[in-house]
């Protein structure tokens, strides 16, 4: 155990086999909470503290009641280098409970996810500006906007994974989609960085690549990391959130998974949905895979079920454990009337964005 200059209230242990500066190190801080409470203000204001010392104080003050605190340090990130990887109770027993923050939890997708992500050892922290009905004992309600930096920092405290669904979900004017989607995602990522969140799943969209054509796909399936070809201002904003995720991964090392979602509904919405549907259960499987992924880095995946008529790759999602089980073909008899649809000749079916490729740019959808 190395003694830190802040040793009046913190012991810092740095395992010799993982020295700071050589990749990712583990730091264990044993906290004397009484002394820390007396000294915190002076310590946090001291300009003489090193980055590591500042981080240890920050980590400890943010984890009262959990001593010791097991912390991972990312050497590329500026202070605080906050990557809390586990918590322990006062007897030293590991606490396995997860806290998952879902933004936009009052929306249609959030409502589908809530019951499917519920587990006895998991707290769902649900954030939205709209009312969230009937919270369970394992759900926490946070009333706030993704564009409110202070609210987002508070919401991210103690969170393991952020599932970012919040924002504008349809075509709208440029100011609206920039504010709610691009700025909102920046605020979420910055709050996650400050709070030491390990992984952020960003809900992107097929409309980020809406002008990708099925008949131009090299091979059978469109790769998840296909270059951006937005079909709308909404699609453009989704390209922006993906770029923000790339920035925060490259600069700070946060794991960011961009899920380019197809049609996430109870049932496939029309003939196009036979290819793009993401069932409620598969949507939950996708999110669970993102939560469980140990070190996904930055990546794209398709949020699509295992549809017989899909032309979107599942390989990238399968690489992190996403194994969709549902197939929109179950609904084909109900959706297909008359001639068999031509997914190559019909422009609504041949383009990833479908009819959105032809809507008026910036005209709010109702």
Is residue 197 domain-shared with residue 340, that is, in the same domain? yes
Residues 182 and 87 occupy one common structural domain: no
Domain that holds residue 83: 10-91
User: Number of structural domains, the chain?
Assistant: 2
208 lies in the same domain as 286: yes
d(CA 176, CA 188): 17
Residues 114 and 33 in one domain: no
Q: Is residue 366 part of a domain?
A: no
Residue where one domain finishes, among candidates 91, 126, 154: 91
Looking at the structure, tell me whether residues 162 and 290 fall in a common domain: yes
Residues 122 and 243 in one domain: yes
What CATH code is carried by the domain that includes residue 138? 3.40.50.720
| 24 to 21, 350, 364: CA distances (angstroms) | 7, 46, 46
Among residues 57, 91, 125, the one where a domain terminates is 91
User: Running DSSP on this structure, what letter comes out for residue 320?
Assistant: T
Chain centroid offset of residue 38 CA: 37
Has residue 2 been placed in a domain? no
**Residue 186 catalytic?**
no
Of 186, 234, 252, 322, the catalytic one is 234
Choosing from 25, 60, 91, the residue where a domain stops is 91
Distance CA 302, CA 319 (A): 12
**Residues 122 and 235 occupy one common structural domain:** yes
Based on the domain organization, do 266 and 173 belong to the same domain?
yes
Per-residue pLDDT of the chain (366 residues; tens, 9 = 90+): 233 333 333 333 333 333 333 333 333 333 333 333 333 333 333 322 233 333 443 443 343 333 333 333 333 333 332 323 344 444 444 445 899 999 999 999 999 999 999 999 999 999 999 999 999 999 999 999 999 999 999 999 999 999 999 999 999 999 999 999 999 999 999 999 999 999 999 999 999 999 999 999 988 999 999 999 999 999 999 999 999 999 999 999 999 999 999 999 999 999 999 999 999 999 999 999 999 999 999 999 999 999 999 999 999 999 999 999 999 999 999 999 888 888 888 988 999 999 999 999 999 998
Q: Is residue 310 situated within a structural domain?
A: yes
DSSP assignment of 260-282 equals EE-EESSS--STTHHHHEE-HHH
């Amino acid at each position: 155990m190395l003694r830190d200059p802040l040793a009046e209230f913190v012991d810092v242990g740095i395992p010799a086999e993982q020295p700071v500066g050589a990749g990712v190190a583990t730091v264990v801080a044993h906290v004397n909470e009484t002394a820390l409470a007396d000294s915190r203000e002076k310590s946090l204001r001291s300009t003489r503290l090193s980055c590591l010392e500042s981080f240890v104080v920050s980590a400890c003050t943010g984890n009262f009641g959990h001593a010791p605190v097991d912390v991972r340090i990312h050497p590329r990130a500026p202070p605080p280098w906050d990557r809390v990887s586990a918590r322990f109770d006062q007897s030293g027993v590991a606490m396995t409970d997860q806290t998952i923050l879902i933004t936009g939890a009052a929306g249609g997708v959030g409502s589908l996810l809530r019951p499917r992500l519920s587990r006895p050892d998991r707290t769902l922290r649900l954030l939205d500006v709209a009312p969230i009905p009937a919270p369970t004992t394992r759900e926490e309600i946070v009333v706030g906007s993704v564009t409110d930096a202070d609210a987002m920092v508070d919401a991210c405290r103690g969170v393991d994974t952020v599932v970012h669904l919040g924002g504008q979900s349809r075509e709208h004017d440029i100011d609206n989609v920039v504010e709610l989607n691009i700025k909102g995602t920046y605020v979420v990522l910055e709050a996650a960085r400050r709070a030491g969140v390990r992984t952020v799943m960003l809900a992107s969209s097929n409309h980020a690549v809406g002008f990708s054509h099925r008949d131009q796909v090299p091979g059978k399936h469109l790769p998840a990391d296909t270059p951006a070809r937005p079909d709308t201002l909404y699609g453009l904003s989704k390209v922006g959130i993906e770029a923000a995720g790339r920035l925060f991964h490259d600069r700070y090392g946060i794991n960011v998974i961009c899920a380019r979602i197809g049609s996430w509904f109870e049932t496939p919405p029309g003939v196009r949905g036979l290819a793009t549907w993401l069932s409620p259960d598969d949507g939950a499987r996708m999110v669970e895979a993102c939560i469980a992924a140990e070190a996904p880095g930055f990546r794209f995946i398709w949020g699509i079920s295992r549809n017989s008529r899909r032309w979107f790759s599942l390989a990238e999602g399968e690489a992190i454990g996403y194994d969709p089980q549902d197939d929109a073909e179950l609904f084909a008899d109900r959706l297909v009337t008359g001639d068999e649809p031509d997914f190559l000749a019909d422009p609504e079916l041949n383009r990833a964005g479908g009819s959105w490729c032809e809507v008026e740019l910036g005209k709010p959808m109702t």
